[in-house]
Structures are given as C-alpha cells and as structure tokens.
C-alpha cells in the first residue's frame, strides 16, 4: 500500500526555516464552560477580517461544564473549508488533555501553552511557547470568577503576536462579539494586548507560521448551518415551527425563534405572524407540524437522529395521507444516544424510507451554507407541491460549525403553494376527489379545512382509502394508491435539486459525495492530482430521490467512490440499488469517527484502492 504524502515540517534548531504563510490550523484545547467560545470566535474573526479564508470547527463534549473541548481554526489561502487533519499550532489550556494533545502533534509543530502546565519536557521535536496566562489574568482582574474567562482572551493576543494577526482586527472582533457591553469590550481588549506584550517581551519567534493580509474574504460572511437553515425557513414563509430540544438541532430552532421574533412580529399590532412551540417530545413536534400542514400552513420541525426515530410513525401518516411539512434532521452519531456532539451522515437510509410499510421521502442534502439557506426555503415549496414530508438532511458539522461563504441571495421567485382548491375552484370544477390523480404526475388536489363549499370537506386518514378519501380495504384501491404514490416520487425526482457534476478530461475515476462531505472534496481532488497525478470526476448529490443524471455519470467512469460519513455506506447502497448492473462500479469510502471528514482521509483511501502496493 502506498503511503500518502503528508506535509512534514522538520524543525531546524538554527531558526532558519521556510515560512508557512496563510495555510495553517490552530487548535485551542480548553475546558468546556470556561468561556473559550468568545476568545475562539474573536481569534477566528480576526483572521477572517485580514482577508484570509477561515473556518472554525468546535469539537465539544456532551456536557455542560468541566470536560475537554477543542476548537479548530483553519486559515487556508486556497480557500479550503474542510477539516485539516494536522494541527499546526496547539493552544494548550486544559490540564486534562494537554499531554495527549501534545503527543498527537506532528513534529515541528507549535505548542503555545499555559506556563503552569510545564509541557516542554514531553517531546523535543516541537516548538514550545509557555505563557503565564493565568498570572496575566490575575494582574488584570481582581474577581477570580472573571479571571478564568479573560485568561482565554490573553491567548488570542499571544497567538496574534506570533502569527502576525493585526491587533486592530482583534479589537474589532472583540467589539463585534461583545456588542454593546462596553466594559467587557475594554477589559478583553486590554487582556489581549497583555498577551501580545508578554510574547514581545519574552518569547522570540522560532516557528515558520505566519498570517499575512489577503483579499479573499471581502464581502463574505461567517455563519453556521443551523442559522442558515433558520434564515431559509423564515424567508420561505414558515408560519408554524414545532421542535423539541436536541443536540445538534436545538440551535436551529433557537436561531429561528430569534429571527422570527425580530423580523416577523407585526409592527402595527405587535403580534406574531408565526407560532413556535417547544413540544413535549419529537412525536408531538411532528404531530403539530402535520396538523398545521394539513390546515394549509407552512410548517416545520427540526431534530436529530433520536428524534427521527420517534417521528417514524407520524412520517408514515403524512406520507400516506399526503400532508406537507418540512423536517430538518441535523444528523449526529448514532445509533441510540451515540455520540451526541459528534457529526455523521448516518440517517440517510432512515430518512429515505422512514416508517413502516412502503414509503419513500424526498430528502434535500445541502452541501454548504448557501444551500442550507436555499434548500430550507425550497423544502417548503416541495412539501406543498408534493403534499408529503420533505426532509432537509444537514449534520452537526454543517449545522454547528462556522463556515465562510458569500452572503445569501434574496429569493425572488414566488412561493409554490401546490395544488390547493379554493371554494371558487370547486364551484368551477363541480366535483372533488381528494386523492384522484388528474394530472398524471401522482399529485392529487387538496382543500383546506375552513373552505366554504359543500364539495370541500374530506376525511383524512392513515388507514386505507380510495381516491375520494373514503375508507377502503379493497385490494385494487390499495394498489392504485400505492402506485400513485410511487408515481409522485418519480415526479419528485425531477423537482428536487439536481446533482452538481464536474467531469475532467482524462478522468476515469469518479467520486460521489454529498452534504458536509463536499467540504473536503476540492482539497482531496487537488491532492490526488498534485501528489499522484490522478484526475477525478466529481458528482455531488443534492437530494433523494436520486437523479437520472447519476447513471450517466457512472457510465463515464471506470470506478466510482462514494464518500460518506457512516459505517455502512448507506448512500452507496441506495445508489447501487438504483444502478442495477452498473452498481458494480461503486466503491465505498466510509468515514465514521464522529470527526468532520478531512481531505487526507479520502485521498489515502482512494490511493489505497487505486495503487495497491
């Protein structure tokens, strides 16, 4: 097996090294609940404000306070936003993990650490910078409780000094983070400067890492996927939002609640043009969304794996009775409680056919922030067009991490409210059969409760029914209904977002990825080309049902690797089912550590298969 090339920096004790500019990752190891969120955010934004493409990933425990947490900031001049496996600069603040964190570094890397941790004796192939952060904090602040919080801002100043982050940008970022709290702003700026000053006074630079101003972030935003989805839902005109707290989906419901309160309260009456309900469980959350969708509202719920399991029965009802609603699944590691604060794409098969009996659901798979926004809006159109639950399959990596992207474009197209008949329509038509397929696309017409017409009412049920919504156990009625639902799924095939395909001349190998896995693919393809000379065709799936374009893509490839973040290759299985014989070309690359996918992992897997030694 070929050994993948990794970037290795050999320390040179005479201090002469090639500099590494704008291509590094900083990992901050702190204790959960110690207030490091502010300092990490300030550090990330300071780099971003220097025009350097930046992303931030939070690796946190399922715990309120006291357990280790890591925040990784990547600065990449090439604009790579995926996870970088190697840590270049470790900021070690947590005594619990400091030793292990240091042990796992590649040679030549930097350790900036709390002096008291005494780490320099652990290895002799690293560059150590001890800073007495807590002493600095104690000098600056009398109140012990505050000291711990501000000590974290001191490392921002120190690392800024080492790397060449402009202190003005640190100040701007601090002001932005603490908003109107002037005292906090002043204090934090002071501490950051103390951290920088200490480095200037005591620690000459011995490492090659530098950050230099670029112009690659002008006009860009930094946002997390849950906020992006929340915005998409609001601009999609959602009116009923029901949810039950669960990591990593809670911040979607919370962000949406904040946005709705701010922007969807009627300025004249002070009343809400929306309803948000924190339900008693996920069953009730979906039940409410279904009741609202049945009545004609744009309704949604957001959850993660365990909630999806609980929503199984209701999803079947909404599928069979044909009721629109949108379900966000911010996936985390399962099964069961699993790793609640780690990322995965393990719900694909569940979402595809949630509930008993024959079911199949449209699933939108956003791959970046713009798509989190756009697909969240679009999901409401699709749900109402198709009259069925539509899933938006996000994940923890997309949902809770910080991503740089262009500002979202205002959606200008009118909403698609689907086939809804008003009293006037009924009057003109002279007849109404709720489940009759008049257009051949499998999608029937519906009326809403409250429609003032003798033809309007019908009885909605999860039991067998004929096309007039009457109770039926007749075999032919059941077959007709199930076949129509399948027809509808085929209609959905054309309506859902189509894959993004990038074919390269000479390429015979293909990769298929989706969702957050996409973030590693550009870098992975560059690695395969630059390091191994392998060109790669790439297809990014954006939805289920699978597009007919998939077959054409596989046809032009000799082998196709399906990259995803679950153990069994769930999407690969669906693809193989879809492809039939051509499915033999499919290979699985499965990443299921709970950590975000990194390009190097995929590159190594492809090379191991393509160039076995």
Partner 1 sequence: MALRTRARKKKPKKTNRIGLSRSAYRGHPSTLCSGCGHDAITNQIIRAFYEIGVNPYSVAKMSGIGCSSKTPAYFMNASHGFNSVHGRMPSVATGTMLANRGLVCIGVSGDGDTASIGLGQFCHLLRRNVPMIYVIENNGVYGLTKGQFSATADDGATLKTGVVNELPAMDCCSLAIEMGCSYVARSFAGDPKQLVALLKGALSHSGTAMLDVISPCVTFNNHPGSTKSYSWAKEHEELLHQIDFIPGFEPIAAVDYPEGEAMDVEMYDGSVIRLRKVDMDYDPMNRREAVRMLHSSAAASELLTGLIYVNPVAKSFLDTLNLCDEPLVSLPHEKVKPGPEILEQVMKDLM
Nearer to partner 1, 219 or 533 (CB): 219
Q: Which is nearer to partner 1, 56 or 569 (CB)?
A: 56
Q: ∠ CA 431-434-440 to the nearest 5 degrees? A: 90
Least gap, CB of 20 to partner 1 (angstroms): 27
∠ CA 34-109-516 to the nearest 5 degrees? Answer: 65
Among 335, 287, 337, residue whose Cα is nearest residue 311: 287
Least separation in angstroms between residue 415's CB and partner 1 is: 5
Q: Which of 14, 445, 442 is nearest to 208 (CA)?
A: 14
Q: Closest CB to partner 1 among 244 and 601?
A: 244
Apex CA 23: angle with CA 114 and CA 500, to 5°?
A: 125
Question: CA–CA distance from 570 to each of 43, 121, 349, 461, 493 (Å)?
Answer: 37, 46, 6, 32, 19
Helix axes 36-49, 182-202, angle to 10 degrees: 70
Which of residues 134 and 472 has its CB atom nearest to partner 1 in the complex?
A: 472
Distance between CA atoms of 549 and 570, rounded to whole angstroms? 19
CA–CA separation, 545 and 230 (whole Å): 24
CA distance 227 to 246: 15
* Nearer CB in complex with partner 1: 45/147: 45
Cis peptide before 248 (omega within 30 of 0): yes
Reply yes or no: is the peptide bond before residue 335 cis, omega within 30 of 0: yes
Task: Tell the smallest beta-carbon distance from residue 519 to partner 1 (Å).
Answer: 19
H-run or E-run covering 283: helix 282-295
User: Is the Cβ of residue 110 or residue 234 nearer to partner 1 in the bound state?
Assistant: 234
CB of 269 to partner 1, least distance (A): 6
CA atoms within 13 A on the CB side of 503: 12
Least distance from C-beta 295 to partner 1, angstroms? Answer: 4
Strand partners, 90: 27, 111
Residue with tokens 């409410």, as numbered in its chain: 288
317 or 534: CB nearest partner 1? 317
Query: Which burial class, exposed, middle or buried, applies to 180 when counting CB atoms under 10 A from its CB (0-12, 13-18, 19+)?
Result: exposed
Contacts of 274 (CB under 8 A, 6+ apart): 238, 239, 240, 241, 260, 264
Least gap, CB of 503 to partner 1 (angstroms): 33
Smallest distance from partner 1 to CB 566, Å: 29
DSSP 409: P
Q: Which is nearer to partner 1, 436 or 493 (CB)?
A: 436
Least separation in angstroms between residue 455's CB and partner 1 is: 10
Residue 279 or 501: the one with the smaller Cβ distance to partner 1 is: 279
Torsion of CA 35, 38, 39, 40, to 10 degrees: 100
Least separation in angstroms between residue 65's CB and partner 1 is 28
In the bound complex, what is the minimum distance in angstroms from residue 84's beta carbon to partner 1?
A: 23
102 and 122 in contact (C-beta within 8 Å)? yes
**Least distance from partner 1 to the Cβ atom of residue 190, Å:** 26
Query: Closer to partner 1 at the Cβ: 24 or 369?
Result: 369
Nearer to partner 1, 345 or 388 (CB): 388
Residue 405, beta-bridge partner list: 221
């Amino acid at each position: 097996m070929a050994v993948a090339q990794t970037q290795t920096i050999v320390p040179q004790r005479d201090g002469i090294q090639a500099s590494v500019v704008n291509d590094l990752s900083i990992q901050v190891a702190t204790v959960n609940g110690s207030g490091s969120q502010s300092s990490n955010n300030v550090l990330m934004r300071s780099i971003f404000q220097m025009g350097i493409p930046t992303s931030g990933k939070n690796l946190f425990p399922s715990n309120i306070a006291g357990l280790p947490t890591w925040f990784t900031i990547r600065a990449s001049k090439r604009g790579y936003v995926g996870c970088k496996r190697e840590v270049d600069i470790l900021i070690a603040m947590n005594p619990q993990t400091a030793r292990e964190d240091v042990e796992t570094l590649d040679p030549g890397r930097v350790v900036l650490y709390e002096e008291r941790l005494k780490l320099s004796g652990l290895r002799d192939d690293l560059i150590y910078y001890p800073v007495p952060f807590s002493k600095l904090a104690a000098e600056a602040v009398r109140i012990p409780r505050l000291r711990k919080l501000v000590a974290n801002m001191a490392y921002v100043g120190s690392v800024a000094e080492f790397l060449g982050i402009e202190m003005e940008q640190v100040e701007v970022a601090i002001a932005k983070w603490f908003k109107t709290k002037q005292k906090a702003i002043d204090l934090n700026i002071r501490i950051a400067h103390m951290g920088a000053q200490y480095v200037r006074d005591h620690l000459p630079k011995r490492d090659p890492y530098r950050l230099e101003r670029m112009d690659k972030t002008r006009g860009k935003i930094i946002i997390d996927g849950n906020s992006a989805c929340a915005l998409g839902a609001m601009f999609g005109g959602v009116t009923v939002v029901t949810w039950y707290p669960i990591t990593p989906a809670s911040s979607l419901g919370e962000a949406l609640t904040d946005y709705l309160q701010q922007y969807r309260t009627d300025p004249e009456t002070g009343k809400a043009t929306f309803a948000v309900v924190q339900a008693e469980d996920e069953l009730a959350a979906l039940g409410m969304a279904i009741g609202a969708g049945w009545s004609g509202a744009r309704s949604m719920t957001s959850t993660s794996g365990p909630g999806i399991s609980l929503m199984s029965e209701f999803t079947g009802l909404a599928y069979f009775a044909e009721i629109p609603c949108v379900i966000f699944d911010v996936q985390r590691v399962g099964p069961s409680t699993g790793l609640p604060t780690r990322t995965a794409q393990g719900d694909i098969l569940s979402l595809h056919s949630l509930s008993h009996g024959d079911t199949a659901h449209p699933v939108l798979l956003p791959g970046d922030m713009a798509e989190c926004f756009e697909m969240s809006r679009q999901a409401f159109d699709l749900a109402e067009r198709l009259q069925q639950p539509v899933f938006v399959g996000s994940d923890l990596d997309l949902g809770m991490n910080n991503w740089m992207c262009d500002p979202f474009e205002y959606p200008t197209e009118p909403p698609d409210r689907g086939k809804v008949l008003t009293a006037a329509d009924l009057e003109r038509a002279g007849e109404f059969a709720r489940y009759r397929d008049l257009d051949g696309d499998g999608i029937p017409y519906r009326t809403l409760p409250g429609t003032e017409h003798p033809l309007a009412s019908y009885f909605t049920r999860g039991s067998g029914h004929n096309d007039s919504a009457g109770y039926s156990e007749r075999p032919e009625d059941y077959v007709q209904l199930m076949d129509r639902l399948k027809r509808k799924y085929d209609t959905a095939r054309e309506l859902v977002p189509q894959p993004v395909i990038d074919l390269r001349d000479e390429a015979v190998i293909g990769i298929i990825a989706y969702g957050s896995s996409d973030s590693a693919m550009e870098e992975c393809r560059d690695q395969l080309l630059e390091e191994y000379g392998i060109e790669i065709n790439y297809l990014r799936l954006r939805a289920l049902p699978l597009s007919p374009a998939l077959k054409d893509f596989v046809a032009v490839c000799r082998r196709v690797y399906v990259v995803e973040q679950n153990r069994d290759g769930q999407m690969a299985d669906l693809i193989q089912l879809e492809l039939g014989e051509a499915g033999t070309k499919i290979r699985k690359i499965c990443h299921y550590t709970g950590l975000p996918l990194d390009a190097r992992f995929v590159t190594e897997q492809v090379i191991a298969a393509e160039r076995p030694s």
